[in-house]
Amino acid sequence: MIKEIKKIGVLTSGGDAPGMNAAIRAVVRSCAFYDIECVGIYRGFQGLVEGDFKVLGPRDVNYIINKGGTVLKSARSEGFRTAEGRKAAHAHLLENGIQALIIIGGDGSFTGGLLFNKEFGFPVMGIPGTIDNDIHGTSHTIGFDTALNTVVEAVDKIRDTASSHKRLFFIEVMGRDAGHIALNAGIGSGAEEIIIPEENMGMDRLLASLKKSKASGKSSSIVIVAEGEKLGKNVFELGDYVEKNLPEYDVRVSVLGHMQRGGAPSCFDRVLASRLGVKAVDSIVEGKSNYMVGLLNDQVALTPLSKAVKGHTGIDQELLRVSDIITI
């Protein structure tokens, strides 16, 4: 028999992402819809370890759907990595009568949730929130679309100065382990080359391609480089290397950095976060645990958390082909 759920906890963990607030809002209001008390847990797993909780009602999440960051804050918790920390976290949940936990975050956050479930049998549900889009079981993570728009806007601006000065720009974008931001934003901004960890381009191919580009009449060029892949060099060394080997180019380097994680979420991310937040609460009410809610073929769908953390999304081969064809 399914135990009636009366109290759910929600936290945001890992790197923040635009749209996390929209997800929090959807969770809080879905709880109200079911007459379930919703408890906000501050600073991710660290707040769980310390019992930093606050009951949230529908009016507590007014006007946050449009805000970047996370009102619940986020942290990388050392405490939760220890057995004592997790024990304390479990005790706080029991003391407060919380019966299930919704974790809005990425890979590392879900791994923490799984471990917690394994140790204490505590029900957990994941909502994918990370700009990197590197989680299996969803075509889009919350924040990815907004980050892409931020990157494209920045690259458009850099393109203006690049073309005025006939320069070659290396632009580093986020994505520690994945090239989804680089590939999508690269196509969207018309980059001449896109360097991602999933594809080993090799230095020789890069030089040959840039040479060809120059010979074809291009006066300026943009190379988008994913943070996780620099062909064995940091992006500044990469720029130096190319300038040394292709003196016909005047090279500049730009690292976009954490601005990619901020800003108001796009409409797509707000709608996605709202759908996933509602589905997470629906699923807990139905007695489900250890799943991640995601978007598959434009439908909300559940994937076992263990699969979500293990299988990284591969890079879209069709996008690679499109990029190869249109950068000629």
CB 97 within 8 A of CB 55: no
Q: Least CB distance from residue 289 to ligand F6P, whole Å?
A: 26
The answer to whether residue 131 forms part of the interface with ligand F6P (CB under 6 A) is yes
Strand partners, 103: 11, 126
Work out whether 129 is an interface residue with ligand F6P (CB under 6 A): no
Amino acid at 327: T
105 is a site residue for ligand F6P (CB under 6 A): no
- Candidates 132, 134, 145, 269; catalytic one: 132
Residues 248-267 as x/- pattern, contact with ligand F6P by CB under 6 A: -------------x------
Tokens read off for 23: 């997800």
Whether 298 is catalytic:
no
Q: Is residue 274 involved in binding ligand F6P (CB under 6 A)?
A: no
Binding piece for ligand F6P, criterion CB under 6 A, among 80-88, 125-133, 186-194, 198-206: 125-133
Q: Which residues contact 184 (CB under 8 A, 6 or more apart)?
A: 148, 319
* 61-69, 78-86, 171-179, 294-302 -> range binding ligand F6P (CB under 6 A): 171-179
- CA 192, CA 223: separation in Å to the nearest integer? 6
Nearest residue (CB) to ligand F6P, 19 versus 175:
175
CB of 12 vs ligand F6P, minimal distance in Å: 12
Reduced to 3 states, what is the DSSP secondary structure of residue 251? strand
Query: Residue with the closest Cβ to ligand F6P?
Result: 15
When asked if residue 20 is in the footprint of ligand F6P (CB under 6 A), the reply is no
Cα separations in angstroms, 91 against 38, 84, 86, 87, 227: 18, 10, 9, 6, 39
Q: How far is the CB of 80 from ligand F6P (least distance, A)?
A: 16
Could you tell me the smallest distance in angstroms from the CB atom of residue 38 to ligand F6P? 25
**Taking CB under 6 A as the rule, does residue 130 contact ligand F6P?**
yes
Answer for the pair 153, 259: CB distance below 8 angstroms, yes or no: no
| Contact by Cβ (8 Å): 195, 201 | yes
Considering only residues 211 to 240 of the shown chain, the ones binding ligand F6P according to CB under 6 A are: 227
Query: Could you tell me the smallest distance in angstroms from the CB atom of residue 266 to ligand F6P?
Result: 16
Q: Where are the beta strands (DSSP E) in the chain?
A: 7-12, 37-41, 53-56, 100-105, 124-128, 168-173, 193-195, 221-226, 251-255, 291-296, 299-304
Strand order in the sheet with 124-128: 53-56, 37-41, 7-12, 100-105, 124-128, 291-296, 299-304
Q: Using the rule CB under 6 A, is 101 a contact of ligand F6P? A: no
Helix, strand, coil shares, percent, the chain, to 5: 45, 20, 35
* Pick 217 or 232: Cβ nearer ligand F6P: 232
* Nearest distance, CB of residue 216 and ligand F6P, angstroms: 33
Which residue of 26, 56, 174, 183 would you call a contact of ligand F6P, by CB under 6 A?
174
As a whole number of angstroms, the distance between CA 85 and CA 48 comes to 9
Would you count residue 15 as binding ligand F6P (CB under 6 A)?
yes
For residue 176, state whether it binds ligand F6P (rule: CB under 6 A): yes
CA distance 287 to 100: 10
**Which residues are known catalytic residues?**
132
Question: What residues line the site for ligand F6P (CB under 6 A)?
Answer: 15, 130-132, 174-176, 227, 261
